[in-house]
Amino acid sequence: MRLLVVEDERRIADFLSRGLQGAGYAVDIAPTGTAALDCVHSADYDLVILDLMLPDMDGMQVLEKIRNRQIGPPVLILSARGGLDDRVKGLEQGADDYLVKPFAFVEMLARVRALLRRGQPAPEKLQVADLSLDCIRRKVARAGEAIDLAPKEFGILEYMMRNKGRPLSRTMIVEHVWDMDYDGLTNIVDVYIRHLRGKIDDRFPVKLIQTVRGIGYMIEGPDKAAERHPEPAAEHQV
Ligand code: CA
């Protein structure tokens, strides 16, 4: 899940970004309306958090431009302007929710999660064989046994489980789980996959995380793997 925070006040932007990253989201920051529109045009965001008071344009203009695109991400407006008129105007112009500053971080996180759920018809609970992941409560269990994951590990696992059976490259994983300005090597993915395997696969006879040679990684239940390689003899028939 990738979020864009549009906020010119560095202190607030950093605070939001740190909190959201701690909750397992990848976060980019745009300090101006122009930067925000550049970001929205060049990357796919699951949600935009938009401050209305920006140095170069009014947040409402940014909202309007995002909404002019046919399919835009949901937008949560942050504003010091708490008047009913502003709120109504924001929602009328296509914002999905409106939060008045100052607000508690937990309040914002609850709104963010609600909007992401709404924008995403995807199930809140993901299952691969006996591994289950609850996206809302952020809990993971295998064979009924709870497993503790660090936020990035959770992010990777959620992304893989949402795409089960589909090989994912290291770049795709990095782009979904880390921030845009992450300039490290994609080798970091290998390190995290090793941690994940240690937690969800090593103690179990059936391994769910597969290495896909030349591409990256994939998660898949044992039944699906068997379907793709039915009988070894079949490979020799033409
Ligand atoms: Ca501002």
Same domain, 136 and 93: no
Cα of 136 vs centre of ligand 1, distance in Å, is 30
Name the domain count of the chain. 2
Cα of 131 vs centre of ligand 1, distance in Å, is 43
Cα of 179 vs centre of ligand 1, distance in Å, is 22
Residue 96 near residue 74, CB atoms below 8 Å: yes
Cα of 75 vs centre of ligand 1, distance in Å, is 16
pTM listed for this prediction: 0.55
Cα of 171 vs centre of ligand 1, distance in Å, is 33
Same domain, 26 and 94: yes
* Phi, then psi, of 161 in degrees rounded to 5: -70, -35
Residue span of the structural domain in which 18 resides: 2-119
Q: Is residue 236 part of a domain?
A: no
3-class SS at 80?
A: coil
Residue 78 near residue 54, CB atoms below 8 Å: no
Q: What is the pLDDT of residues 137-155, one digit of tens each?
A: 889 999 999 999 998 899 9
Cα of 158 vs centre of ligand 1, distance in Å, is 33
Cα dihedral 196/201/207/211 (nearest 10): 20
Cα of 108 vs centre of ligand 1, distance in Å, is 16
Q: Which of 76, 91, 119 is the last residue of a domain?
A: 119
* Phi, then psi, of 4 in degrees rounded to 5: -115, 125
Tell me: pLDDT of 193 over 50: yes
Looking at 91-105, 181-195, 223-237, which range is the least confident one? Answer: 223-237
Cα of 192 vs centre of ligand 1, distance in Å, is 36
Q: What is the pLDDT of residues 52-90, one digit of tens each?
A: 999 999 999 999 988 876 667 899 999 887 677 777 777
Instruction: Output the pLDDT for position 180.
Output: 55
Same domain, 34 and 113: yes
Say which CATH number the domain at 152 has: 1.10.10.10
Q: Is residue 238 part of a domain?
A: no
Instruction: Output the pLDDT for position 71.
Output: 65
